[in-house]
Structure 1
């Protein structure tokens, strides 16, 4: 027969404190800890490639085709002039000075014709590459425009200097200034289009 414990007995078993006997459960973790991890902020994503060719890039492409066509026409004119000069030099073969001058002029015209022909091929090739070309096409266009920009500056400065020195050639010098300034503007447009954000994104876009 058991007796209830005497609360006044110092040797008795102390009563169990409330809450003991079963292990207490740890508090549940915060609600944010459940489920999938939260996505990190969307920093550092590459810019989205434009779905179609940007307007400035398209304008540059059209100008490349136009300039290529003009360069082909100039090539034909130079080659015809070289052939005519060579013919005149042969007709005056007895005059050594005329023959030498004519042959030299024909050679210079021929060299310029070849240079314009190569430039025409490069212009048209770059224009074609704008559709599916990558960063190499963009960089080549920048180099191409930079080189011809310097040539345009030389033509403009030469025309202005010539107009100041010889009053009789004012009309020709004025035409040279117009051509030089126009060529400079076209080259600057090419460089700006290739260096702009839309141009970089277009040529860096993924190609499948």
Structure 2
């Protein structure tokens, strides 16, 4: 009596022999079907999150380091702020120098004195405005590391105003014009937006 006989009622059923349909016996782990990757981690342990190239705790998109474009824009903001502060000091100094020269020239007519006072007032006002603009630019540059998207928007507006005024002051405003355009370009790029939105991406 042979177990391989298909007509033998005491033999093993067909499909349970040594063919491909053989079930694993007790004590042998079941193997995953072909084409299915093995499950990561043991039973009851979830798979670990993917490793982020930015070092943001395993979650992609979390930015932890300022990009080169944002760093360059920050340096340019410091330069623009310094230019405005120095320009303000020069203009205010010129206003007092003009008034002093007018007094030395002996021009004592009412019209000359009124014109000198008006010119001095205009120069002082321009100097004060330039000083305020320079301080605002430096404050924005100082907030690049800790500020959010509001700092980015404020810097783009600041650079846009700088570009506008630089156009009317060409060729003296050529440097400010170039720096303002570069700041807008760097902060409008995706890496600039990612840096200032990094706090939102961590949640």
CA deviation digits over 1:10-39, x for unaligned, max 9?
xxxxxxxxxxxxxxxxxxxxx99xx99xx9
CA deviation digits over 1:80-125, x for unaligned, max 9?
1112223344554622222122111101110111011001111110
Match of 1:194 among 181, 187, 190: 187
Match of 1:103 among 117, 128, 132: 117
Larger radius of gyration: 1
TM-score scaled by structure 2?
0.64
TM-score scaled by structure 1?
0.63
Match of 1:150 among 145, 148, 164: 164
CA contact (8 A) 2:73 2:182 kept: yes
Give the match for residue 9 of structure 2.
none
Match of 1:185 among 162, 178, 181: 178
Unaligned ranges ≥5, structure 2: 1-32, 37-42, 48-58
* Count of aligned residue pairs for this structure pair: 148
Match of 2:90 among 77, 84, 89: 77
With 68-77 and 102-111 compared, the bigger mean Cα shift is at 68-77
CA deviation digits over 1:25-81, x for unaligned, max 9?
xxxxxx99xx99xx9xxxxxx961332111011011111112212222111111111
Unaligned ranges ≥5, structure 1: 1-30, 40-45, 157-175
Alignment of 1:57-68 (within 5 A): 57-68=70-81
Cα deviation for residue 139 of structure 1 reads 0.4
Secondary structure in 2 matching 1:194: helix
Give the match for residue 52 of structure 1.
65
